Amino acid sequence: MPELPPLPEDPSVDELRSVARRLDLARRSRELDRAPAFPWPEYRALGEAGLLGLHVPSELGGRGWPVRRVGVALYHLGYLAGTTFAKLSLQPEFSSVLAEHGSADLVREWFRPIVRGETLVGNQITEPGAGSDAGAIRAAAVPDGDHYLLSGTKSEAAFATDAQAAIVYARVPGPDPRREITAFLVPRDLPGVHAESPAGDLGERWQRRGTVRYDRVRLPGRLRIGDVGAAFDYVQHELTREHALLAAIYLGVARASWEETVRFVEERKVFGRPLSAQEAVAFALVADGAELEASWLYTDRVLERLDRGVESDRDAALAKWMATEVALRTIDHAIQFHGGRGYSQELPHEQRWRDVRSGRIAHGPSEIMLWVAARRLWPRREPKSGETRPSG
C-alpha cells in the first residue's frame, strides 16, 4: 500500500468521523446531488450534535472553537463527505454579520435557532446587475416612519425558497452613496417577497439557488442589522474568515479523490503493469499531492494567524484561490486516471469536481480573489463617487 502523508490532526476528528458515519453523510451528499432538496434532517442533527456554529461563541450556543480548529474540522468533513455538510456546518458563520451586529432581540430570534439547526437564513448580496462589483447593488430600503420599504431583486441566492429569512443588503438613500449599503434581516413570509428556485446548477444542487424579488416590502426598523451604511465594513471580516475556511473544505474534498486515485493506480493494470508505473500518471499524482500539502500549509498559516488577530484579506483570498485551483486539478486527474468510470456517477469524483467548481465563482470569483491581492501589491486610491467593492 502506498504511504500517504498524514491528515491534519485535532482532537475533534474522532467525533466528526463518528457523526459522519452515524448520519451517513457521504451517501446523503450523493443523494442530494441527484434529488436536490435542503437536507433538513441532517441540518437539525448537525445542530443537535453541536456541529453548526463550531466558531460561534459559547454564549450564543456554539462551541467557540478557534478558527484554525474549525478549519481542520472542515478539512475532515470535506474529506469524509464532500462539500455539502462542511458548507452546511458554516451556515451560522455565513450569518456572522447578524450575530455580531444584530440587536439582542434579532440574535435571540434568528441567530441562535440557526446554531441549533432549526432555522435557515440566506445571504443576499448579488443582483442581476451587481455580482463581482458588489458596490453596484441597487436594491433600496427607503425610510417610511419607523419602517423601511424594501424594493429590488436579489439573484444567484442559495436557499432562495428554502430559507425562512435572509440577510439582505440594500441601499438606504443618503447624502453619501459610499455609505448607503445596509444589512436587514428579512423574513421570507412578509408580504411582497417573491422567491423562486429554478432547478439546474452544475454542482452543490442542494443549495437550490434562485431569485428573490422584493416589492415594497414593509420592514420594521428593528430588522435593520447595525448602522446605516456600515454593512460592507461588517461583512469584510466574515469574508476573510470564510475564504480561509472554504479553502480548507476544498482541500479536504480533493484529498479524498487523490488518496483514492493513488490506491487505484497501484491496482489497475494497463499494458501489463500497474498504472502507477507510468511516469505520466505517477508524476501527476506526486505533483498533486505536493500541491495539496503546500496549499494546506498556506491555508493553515492563514487560519492560525486569524486566531492571533492577524487578519489579512489578501492572504485569505489567495488561500481560497490557490485551494480551488489545486483541488480542481487534483480531482480532474482523479477522473482522468479512473478512465471511463471516473467520468461516471458510479464514482464520487465527478460530483466532487462539480461541487468544488463553485469555488471559482461563489463567495467572490477567482479573479476577484487575485484582485484583492493585486490591490495590496499596487495600492490605488478608490474612486471618489459611488462605492467600488469587490464581492470578495
Ligand X SMILES: Cc1cc2nc3c(=O)[nH]c(=O)nc-3n(C[C@H](O)[C@H](O)[C@H](O)COP(=O)(O)OP(=O)(O)OC[C@H]3O[C@@H](n4cnc5c(N)ncnc54)[C@H](O)[C@@H]3O)c2cc1C
Does 367 bind ligand X (CB under 6 A)? Our answer is yes
**φ, ψ for residue 156, nearest 5 deg:** 60, 15
Q: Which stretch, 121-129, 184-192, 212-220, 290-298, contacts ligand X (CB under 6 A)?
A: 121-129
CA–CA distances in Å: residue 46 to residues 22, 37, 67, 289, 359: 11, 16, 19, 31, 23
Contact call for residues 217 and 193 (beta carbons, < 8 A): yes
Q: Minimal distance in Å, beta carbon 81 to ligand X?
A: 18
Cell numbers placing 144: 417610511
Q: Which stretch, 236-244, 270-278, 292-300, 355-363, contacts ligand X (CB under 6 A)?
A: 355-363
Q: Which stretch, 7-15, 27-35, 39-47, 155-163, contacts ligand X (CB under 6 A)?
A: 155-163
Cα–Cα dist 254/248, whole Å: 10
Q: Which is nearer to ligand X, 153 or 278 (CB)?
A: 153
- For the CA atoms of 123, 124, 125, 127, the dihedral, rounded to the nearest 10 degrees, stands at 150
SS3 390: strand
Does 211 bind ligand X (CB under 6 A)? Our answer is no
Does 371 bind ligand X (CB under 6 A)? Our answer is yes
Residue with cell 471618489: 384
Cell numbers placing 18: 463518528
The CB-nearest residue to ligand X is 131
The dihedral through the CA atoms of 202, 207, 208, 209 has a sign that is negative
Does 123 bind ligand X (CB under 6 A)? Our answer is yes
Most distant CA pair in the chain, distance: 80
The residues, ordered by sequence, that sit 6+ positions from 150 with a Cβ below 8 Å of its Cβ are 139, 140, 141, 168, 170, 184, 186, 192, 214, 216, 217, 219
Q: Which is nearer to ligand X, 201 or 291 (CB)?
A: 201
Q: Minimal distance in Å, beta carbon 364 to ligand X?
A: 6
Size of the site for ligand X (CB under 6 A): 22
The residues, ordered by sequence, that sit 6+ positions from 325 with a Cβ below 8 Å of its Cβ are 366
Does 29 bind ligand X (CB under 6 A)? Our answer is no
Q: Minimal distance in Å, beta carbon 149 to ligand X?
A: 21
Does 295 bind ligand X (CB under 6 A)? Our answer is no
Cα–Cα dist 139/152, whole Å: 4
Q: Which is nearer to ligand X, 83 or 257 (CB)?
A: 83
Q: Which stretch, 36-44, 103-111, 236-244, 367-375, contacts ligand X (CB under 6 A)?
A: 367-375
What binding mask, one character per residue, do residues 229-268 give for ligand X by CB under 6 A, x or -?
----------------------------------------
Does 156 bind ligand X (CB under 6 A)? Our answer is yes
Q: Minimal distance in Å, beta carbon 186 to ligand X?
A: 13
Does 204 bind ligand X (CB under 6 A)? Our answer is yes
Binding site for ligand X (CB under 6 A): 122-126, 131-132, 156-158, 204, 207, 209, 358, 361-362, 364-365, 367-368, 371, 391
